[in-house]
Amino acid sequence: MNREEKNQVVENLAVKLANNPHFYLTDISEMAVEDSNILRGAFRKEGIVVEVVKNSLLKKAMERVEEKDYSELYSVLRGATSIMFTEVGNTPAKVISELRKSSEKPILKGAFVEECAYVGDEQLSVLKSIKSKDELIGELIGLLQSPAKNVISGLKSGGSKLSGILKTLSEKEG
């Protein structure tokens, strides 16, 4: 690969890093072909884009993105590296955890999720537990609806009690 091609790869990676809110760095080397195909299929199904990258070019691309600081992830840029771009921060962690039930790979090297860097495979459970924006909105709506539901339920049950009392009183008078 000549210098011009390398510069183009770096520029493309820098654009992807700037435009994607979350990414994971993994080691999928030495995976069995069958496991690799399962992995790629699972990621494709979830809308996760996977690319094998050269560490030196990825580091240069990270350095070009001025809005974000990826320096904590530089230490994991050795050996075989695949980058996974995703719109939902916890989805790759969930897919990786599921795949790890039957295989040792992929190994999580690091991730950049919700403006934070996570380094090391032991961070997989933490990343898996991070709630997505949609999950947080759903929980918030549920919390906001709960008091209103309780008030309506109380009014309904109170109304039937009140009508029962009135009916009983009217029957006694009659």
For 137, the 3-state DSSP assignment is helix
**How high is the pLDDT of residue 82?**
93
The sign of the dihedral angle between the CA atoms of 65, 66, 67, 69 is positive
pTM of the model: 0.76
| Coil, strand or helix at 118 | strand
pLDDT for position 92? 93
Per-10-residue mean pLDDT of the chain, 174 residues long, equals: 91 93 91 83 91 94 92 94 92 90 89 92 90 75 71 61 68 67
Task: Please state the CATH superfamily assignment of the domain spanning residues 3-130 in this structure.
Answer: Ribosomal protein L10, N-terminal RNA-binding domain (3.30.70.1730)
**Residue ranges of the domains in the chain?**
3-130, 131-174
Within a 10 A sphere around the Cβ of 125, how many other Cβ atoms?
A: 10
Collapsing DSSP to helix, strand or coil, 82 comes out as strand
**CB distance 80 to 29 below 8 Å:** yes
Alpha helices in 20-132 (DSSP H): 33-45, 55-64, 91-99, 124-129
